[in-house]
Structures are given as structure tokens and as C-alpha cells.
Structure 1
Amino acid sequence: MPPIQFVVDRREHNKTLAAALKMRYGLSWSQAKRLVEGRHVKVSGQVEPNVDRRLQLGKRIELAAGSIELPPEERKRLAEKAQKKAQKAAKKAAPPPARAAANAKKSPPAVPVPGLPESVIVYQDDAVVVANKPAGLTTMRHKDEAEEFGARAQKFLPKTLADLLPVALGAPGKPLTAVHRIDRDTSGLVVFARTRAAAEHLTKQFRKHTVERSYVALTRGVPASKRIESVFIDDRGDGRRGSATGDAAGGKRAVTHVRVTEALGAHALVECRLETGRTHQVRIHLGENGTPLCGEKVYDRPLNGQPAPDGTGAKRPMLHAARLGFVHPVSGTALSWEAPPPADFAALLTELRQKAT
């Protein structure tokens, strides 16, 4: 039996997790509380044990299979949704023809878009777009969210970088494919494909771990410069993603190369080079190392332990994707780009340098 899933809509936005479950499934307060505290509910893939967690529009909620008895109307809705999905899949028996590969034609200049810095587009041609994503902006819409809301209802969801870039490129009717993603609160370089062929070529590079990706980070404490390797699991025992300490069936290998570029007293400026690209990889490895990011509020504590003190006042995890390099899917040329950290990162770095002197 598959898990029960839904995406937070406008009615449930900013409601507590317990309140949303009560509204959607007609549960009592005690039923919702037992469900959450029993670790049967996930928010965006993470087990959420806090009934008072405030939900944001577009978040994906997942309930363990069999954890609740769905009302008849909800069972009917899910059955109809599954039927439509099956019908849609059946229509795709033959794959659509691949789009033509990119040529040397120059792309139009960037168009100003409200809420998007003009400097966001670092590089563009007919095959790829490299963007410098601002912190606070989601890279792309999760597939489950897109299916849940449908094309019409998605206009009510917060815009993603993938939504805004086509407008900035002067081609609002031509969607881009995000080949990879970085966290909403992480800033930095990300590549999008403009054709099917380019997306497939880049995806192969990411799967083979040949893409060059380096982050800069500000940490609490000074980590050792070393290679960190572990196996990631979805729940390390407290509802957080993390490294397995025993058997890791279904786990994924994660490798990060950490190098301290500047010690700043009780803090450090660190470069992290990714050998693999797992969700929250740098945040998890540095946190488990005992040197969490400044501003980190999830991976800032040992298993079942207390959060590490953070007196920096950082409003987000101080992590920036500073370098990106790959082989161009059409020309075969090795390309790379670098982007300096944004203003909040630079300001905190300056402050930490002053305190360290």
C-alpha cells in the first residue's frame, strides 16, 4: 500500500501540521497528535515529530501507509487521480521526438523580471543556461507538487527559478529543465538545459560525478581539512537525514572534500568540493563533523542531542555554490564558472574576520 500524500494548499498555508491533518482528514486533535508524535508523518521527505510545525504553501506532506482510515470521498479522489495518471502514462507508449540540438545562434539578451536580480543569468546559449540562484528562491517545482496542483493552480504557488528564467530569457513559452538543484536557502550556480538532448547529456555527467561543483561555507568551529565519506539514509533516528551507523539498506554513498581556506577564531571559511551530490550533503557532513554551518537549524546537533550554539545571527545556512564546471553538451568544450557569495554571506565573513583579529 503506497503512502498517503498531499501538497499544502492556500487553506492550509501557515497552519500547524496538526491543524492541517484535522482539516484534510477530519481527525481529532488527539488522533493528529498521535500520528505526528508516532513519527508517521513526513514534511518534504523529513520525518516531522512536531505537531506545531507551521506549514508553507507547496510543501509535500506524506503519511505512512495504513496510518489513517481515509474518508470515502478522499479514497475516491485518490483513485481517480491514480486512474488519470495511468491513462496519461499509457498515452506515452512512444517517446516524443528529441528536439534539435543547439546551434551557434545567439540567445536574446536577458529581460528584467520583478524579484529576480539582473545578474542572475551567468551564461546562456541555445543549449544551456547557467544561473546564480539567490538564497530564498526554490530551484524548481517538485514533480509531486506539479501533479497535485496541475498547470492552472500552479499560478498560486510561489515562483521558482525555473519559472522565472524563461521570462528573463525572453522566451516565456519555452520551459527549462533543471538538471540538478540546490537548497532553497543556498545561493549559487545551477545549470538548466534548454533542449531534451542537452538535458540527457548533462544528466549523464552528473550521474558519473564528472561535473565540477564547489561550495564555500561559514562554519561554527574549524573543521579538519579532509575527505568525508559516509552512507546517507532518510532517517538517522531523529527524523533527520544523515549518515548510517550500522546497516544501510537503500542508503546512498556521499563524499565531500573539505578544505579550510581561512580560520576565523571560533569560526572558519571552508571550501567543500562535491564528489557526489546528495540532498543536503555539505550541511549534513559538516554538521555531523561537529562544525555546522552558521545559521544552520536542522543539521546542527548530534543524534538526539542539543543544537550547537550559534551567536552569528545568520538568518540562513551560510552556504554558497561558488564554482560549477561541465562539458558543454553540444560543443564538447570543458566550461566552468565562478560566482562570489552574496551580500549577507560577505557581510558575515567581514564581521567574523574583524572579531578574529
Structure 2
Amino acid sequence: MAETGCGDHVGPDGVGMTVLAWLRKRRPELSWSGCRRLLASRQVRVNGTVEVHEARRLKLTDVVSCDDVPTAPPRPKLIRIVHCDDDLVVVEKPTDLVTTRRPEEQHWPAAKKRLAPTLDELVAEAIADRRTTSRPRQRTARSSPPLFRVQRLDRQTSGLVVFARTDEAAKGLIRQFQEHTVERTYLAVVRGCPESQTISIPLVRDRGDGLRGPSRDGRGGQPAVTHVRRLATADGLSLVECRLETGRTHQIRIHLCELGTPVCGEPVYRHRLGETASPDTSGAPRLALHAARLGFRHPRTGERLTFTSPWPDDLAAWIKRTCPALLHSSHLGPRDERRHV
């Protein structure tokens, strides 16, 4: 990804400014229309992810950059359907894709939504495409079946996600998440050598510098528990397995940062409050965090379903090139190959 010279950190004078106004200020040679064209062509990134919404308000420490060339929007064919039945669908989420659309984006016109599709929208299209292909005489027009969100992954995180396809299935899956009976295991490559341990650090929306994290006095916040197991260490990097007990926003990323071992490629949580971030020399192409295992009981049949997902190609190639010993230590079962509608 080649970037122009407009990439830098948002300082106090930029807090609350819209992305469009920031671009106009940093790129005075461009008109307002020229800045809008950059957004419409998906050349603007905030914290490493494409941003098309000109009215997004910037926060302290956000990093805004511009690509030299446009980036094509993701398409349904990029989504791998791992399992699909009448009640639910399990997919592998690519990086740089939000799970569902924010409420303030629901009113966007269709053309703008196509510039920044969400995972649930692409999955619905992928299911409809598969049905149209398999039953061309029965379905002459593509339709999108309803999907219900029961979990989410951070935009930069890749890996397994389940959606419900009926209201009853959604209720059953949500109940399992609330009762902490869903197995959610992630693989991460971090800087340093963390000890295997259980991290129990409550999280607040603003730890004091605009970022999520523990409060200054250690009191208050939502309970957050992550079980961390170090699998291997080599060349200053470690492969860790993280099992979620709770599912707070950015929980794994924050907890690993609080240990002093941030995730490689981490664009936001790079240092604890009051400390200075150390340079990330890992060369990671993006956030090295992947949802590798997902297990739950089928909400209708009660059957226990477990799915695994290996490292995606971009992270696997980086690990193989940088520290191959870590790749061989990624202890996962075989990829689940059930794909049916």
C-alpha cells in the first residue's frame, strides 16, 4: 500500500474535526470536491482502514493517511462460507471489514453503502448468489435472506463469525454468549514474551487519553476477562492463544497491550497510559490477530459445533518470512469443510 504525504497523527487541534475537513487542511492543493473524490475512491484510511464517510469525527491519536491508488470495495466472493443451514451461517471474515453497519449509516444511499459494504451484507449476498447458482429455474432474481448479528469482530481482526438466520436462532445463540458457553479462541503474534495467565482488567471507554482501557484509578469499568496461553517465542515475538470469557470492544488488544506486549501491526493500542509507544519493527502487514476457533451448540438441534480457521494468507506469509517457528506452533485442528445451504 503506497501512501501520500497526508498521513500523520491527529493532535489536540484536530480532535472533533471531520475527515473531510482534515483532508482539506492537510491537502490545501485539493479543493473540497477533490477531497471528496479521495474518499469516494476509497483512498483515505483512518488507523489503517479505509474510510468513506466524510463526516466521521476524528479522535486524538487517530492516524489519517491516503493511498496513491483507489482500493476496490470488497465483494461477496471474498467471503468464505464455512457452514450454512436454515438457522445460522458461519463465515471467515477478512480484515478491514466491519461486522454490521452502525445506526448512523443506515440512512446512507445504496451507492455509498456499496463503497463500504459490511460483513453481514456481503454474507447475505453470497448466500443469495449460491442459491441462484444452484437453483437457476427456481430463483430468477437474487434476494438477501435476513441475518441477525449475535457477535462481532473488530474491523482489523480476521476469522470466524456466526450469524443467525432466524429470530429464534438469534435468541438461542445470544443466550449462549451471555452464559459464556461459546468457545472463542484467537491467535495473536505479539511483541515480547508474555507469561501464560488470566487477565482480569475492567475496561472504560476513555482511560484518560481518548482510548479504551483501564481507568486511571483502577476502579469502575466493565468486567473483562481474557485467558492467555503462550505457545511459542522466537526472535523477540511470541505466538499466543487468547480465549475470551467476556467480549468487550477491543478486549484482547487492550489486555495484551496492558501486559506490555502489544499485538504486532497494532495501530491504536501500542502503549499503556502515560507511556511512550516503542517502534513496531515486526513488519506485520496488519493487525496480527485472528479468530481461529469458534464453538457453540446449535440453537435448534443442540448439536455441538466447532469450527477452526488457519492463519489467512497475508499473515501466514508474513509469519513464514519473519519467524517460521511461530507458524508451526499454531495448534489448530483441521479446517471444518462443511459448506451447504
TM-score, normalisation: structure 1: 0.67
* Aligned pairs (5 A) from 1:65-214: 115-117=75-77, 120-146=80-106, 149=107, 152=110, 155=113, 157-170=115-128, 172-214=143-185
Residue 301, structure 1, aligned to residue 285, structure 2: no
SS of 1:311 mapped into structure 2: coil
Give the distance between the partners of 2:207 and 2:176, measured in 1 at CA. Answer: 29
Residue 16, structure 1, aligned to residue 11, structure 2: no
Q: CA deviation at 1:155?
A: 3.3
Task: State the AA in 1 paired with 2:268.
Answer: V
Query: Which structure has the larger Rg over C-alpha atoms?
Result: 1
Q: CA RMSD in A?
A: 3.1
Contact 1:230 1:244 in 2 (8 A): no
- Structure 1 segments unaligned to the other structure (5+ residues): 1-7, 20-52, 64-112
Residue 222, structure 1, aligned to residue 205, structure 2: no
* Aligned pairs (5 A) from 1:336-355: 336-353=306-323
Q: CA deviation at 1:205?
A: 1.0
Q: CA deviation at 1:144?
A: 3.0
Give the distance between the partners of 2:103 and 2:151, measured in 1 at CA. Answer: 13
Corresponding residue of 2:10:
none
Task: State the AA in 2 paired with 1:339.
Answer: S
Corresponding residue of 2:52:
57
Give the distance between the partners of 2:225 and 2:55, measured in 1 at CA. Answer: 28
Identity rate, percent: 45
Contact 1:166 1:173 in 2 (8 A): yes
Corresponding residue of 1:103:
none
Inter-CA distance 59–340: structure 2 relative to 1 (3 Å threshold)? farther
Give the distance between the partners of 1:118 and 1:159, measured in 2 at CA. Answer: 12
* Aligned pairs (5 A) from 1:310-325: 310-325=280-295
TM-score, normalisation: structure 2: 0.70
Give the distance between the partners of 1:295 and 1:62, measured in 2 at CA. Answer: 23
Give the distance between the partners of 2:317 and 2:126, measured in 1 at CA. Answer: 28
Contact 1:162 1:175 in 2 (8 A): no
SS of 1:200 mapped into structure 2: helix
Corresponding residue of 1:257:
227
Residue 266, structure 1, aligned to residue 224, structure 2: no
Contact 1:14 1:55 in 2 (8 A): no
Q: CA deviation at 1:185?
A: 1.0
Aligned length in residues: 264
SS of 1:180 mapped into structure 2: coil
Give per-residue Cα distances to partners, 1:8-48, cap 9 Å, x unaligned: 9xxx66541896xxxxxxxxxxxxxxxxxxxxxxxxxxxxx
SS of 1:321 mapped into structure 2: strand
SS of 1:243 mapped into structure 2: coil
Corresponding residue of 1:231:
202
Corresponding residue of 1:335:
305
SS of 1:165 mapped into structure 2: helix
Corresponding residue of 2:133:
none
Inter-CA distance 60–261: structure 2 relative to 1 (3 Å threshold)? farther
Give the distance between the partners of 1:18 and 1:326, measured in 2 at CA. Answer: 48
Task: State the AA in 2 paired with 1:322.
Answer: A
SS of 1:135 mapped into structure 2: coil
Task: State the AA in 2 paired with 1:319.
Answer: L
Give per-residue Cα distances to partners, 1:38-74, cap 9 Å, x unaligned: xxxxxxxxxxxxxxx99932488579xxxxxxxxxxx
Q: Which moved more, 1:302-311 or 1:333-342?
A: 302-311
Corresponding residue of 2:139:
none
SS of 2:203 mapped into structure 1: strand
Contact 1:128 1:192 in 2 (8 A): yes
Q: CA deviation at 1:334?
A: 1.2
Task: State the AA in 1 paired with 2:119.
Answer: L
Give per-residue Cα distances to partners, 1:203-239, cap 9 Å, x unaligned: 1111111110000000011111100001100011111
Q: Which moved more, 1:284-293 or 1:295-304?
A: 295-304
Contact 2:19 2:55 in 1 (8 A): no
